[in-house]
Structure 1
Amino acid sequence: MSDYAQYRQALLAKRRELLERVTAIADDKQRPASADSEEQAVELENEEVLSALDEEARETLSQIDQALQRIEQNEYGLCRACGNPIAPARLRAIPHAALCIDCADRQESG
């Protein structure tokens, strides 16, 4: 395997960013609710959006942690489905990618 230090650094930076986002979302969710019914409706909608963003961030964090583990195990850059190398351009765009583009397309369409 090649040296994946640049990908590891990108993954760690993205991980820090997402952890900050998750913390900020948790802080926003802890704010007391308004007594005004119109504001409560907006706050409920905001809560739903925050929950969706939180879920997405946590899922990406999990994928990043798995990618970091693959680096440690010298399995990074190999498709988890077919075992073929993942294109460097794909890894640059999505450093936590676990599937090559062909397998990812098959998974999305199937």
Structure 2
Amino acid sequence: MQALNSTPSTLTTEQILAAPESDYMNAEQLAFFRQYLIELHDSTRARIRDTKAQIMDPPELVDLSDRASWEEQCMILMRIVDREQKLLPKIQQALERIRLNEYGYCQETGEPIGIARLLARPTAELCADVKLCSELKEHMYVKDRDA
């Protein structure tokens, strides 16, 4: 993910990473992540719109192999659009958690998620330890089910 353009009242990525733990999710950090999520939402919507426009405007292809390649590319683009459309509600939920002053804390344990994790995945709802346990349980369930 790209670094945000900072405004005078907003922290930069470097400043937020260098902040002491006692500053965790203070008003400035919440404002930083709010702006970060808004920009992520806007850029995701723009990518979805651009991708849909690209799919709706197919080139004139006479060669069957070119047409097959185009159709395969469209299928891949549709999967990307689907994934990005699923991200939009997660961004909205994260913005709502900011509004409720719950952002940045694990929904299961209440522990801080951490700045680095939130910069990598600003829609994170769980701290890394809880997420890892959840994924391990899921993996074991799938493994047991397939056996």
Task: Tell me the TM-score normalised to structure 2 length.
Answer: 0.68
Report 1:57-96 matches (<5 A).
57-96=84-123
Letter of the aligned partner of 2:117 in structure 1? R
Give 1:52 shift: 1.5
Letter in 2 for 1:5: A
Aligned partner of residue 90 in structure 1, secondary structure: helix
- Matched residues in 1 for 2:70 and 2:81: separation? 16
2:108 and 2:78 map into 1 onto residues whose CA distance is: 30
Unaligned runs of 5+ in 2: 1-24, 138-147
Correspondence 1:44 to 2:68: no
CA root-mean-square deviation:
1.6
- Point out where structure 1 has 5 or more consecutive residues left out of the alignment: none
Alignment counterpart, residue 2 of structure 1, candidates 26, 31, 47: 26
1:21 paired residue among 22, 47, 66: 47
Distance, in Å, in 1 between the alignment partners of 2:97 and 2:70 is 40
- Matched length: 110
For residue 8 of structure 1, what is the amino acid of its counterpart? R
1:61-101 per-position Cα deviation (integer Å, ceiling 9, x unaligned): 22111100111111111112222221122112222111110
Q: Which amino acid aligns with 2:47?
A: R
Partner residue in 2 for 1:30: 56
Identical amino acids, percent of aligned pairs: 33
Q: Which of the pair has the greater relative contact order for Cα pairs under 8 Å at 6+ separation?
A: 1
1:34-69 per-residue CA deviation (whole Å, 9 max, x = no partner) reads 343111210111011101111121122221111001
The residue matched to 2:69 in structure 1 has which SS?
A: helix
TM-score, normalised with respect to structure 1? 0.89
